[in-house]
Amino acid sequence: MAKKKKLNKNWLHDHINDPYVKMATNAGYRARAAFKLKEIAEPEGLLKPGIKVVDLGSAPGSWSQVLREALVGPGGVINGRIIALDLLPMEPIAGVEFIQGDFRDEAVLEDLNQRLGGEKLDLVVSDMAPNLSGVAAADSARIEHVCELAIDFALNHLKPNGALIVKIFHGSSYSNIVHQMKQVFKSVSPRKPKASRDRSRETFLLCKGLK
């Protein structure tokens, strides 16, 4: 118990003193993760008015906030479309459609498909992460499953020149996930944004152009 309290205290200290947390607060973002998406997507020119994008694992909404900023035009009118989805509730964001539900649930996917109505997407972003148990083999399987769902969704809904940004974790499933991505996309590049904590095992794959 003492060790857990120390870990919580250390996390809180790091969090309070994290420059990205302070930047997020000042910029009005709901989480520091906003800067991860900006670092990955902005240099590639992926965030621009007129795009259609789905944000998977969107809560608390910082990635949707970044997407909205890119799409908002004169008078606050959204030029494009953003659909966000998460198992957890998310406070509303003007111009962002939100679906609460489990991405692995067929009924939730059907709701998303109906909203899209056959529209193809320019971008799919996924900050989804499964609940990790600490058991390496089980966690690798969960991570791989979530990534496979994101790949399958992108394959069915992206435009031929569309892009997918997906979070993965270094571990036994990493190379297999990258291999699967390369079967589907012309370009697959790992990204470790500065806004991602050094000790975190998370990384992101930027995948562009369907084969």
Which amino acids are annotated catalytic? Answer: 167
DSSP output for 154-198: HHHHEEEEEEEEEEEESSTTHHHHHHHHHHHEEEEEEE--TTS-T
Find, among 145, 166, 180, 164, the residue nearest to 57 by Cα: 166
How many other CB atoms sit within 10 Å of the CB of residue 4? 8
Q: What share of the chain is helix, strand, coil (3-state, %, to 5)?
A: 45, 25, 30
Q: Which amino acid is at 193?
A: P
Pairing of strands 202-210, 158-169: antiparallel
Structure-token pair, residue 57: 């694992």
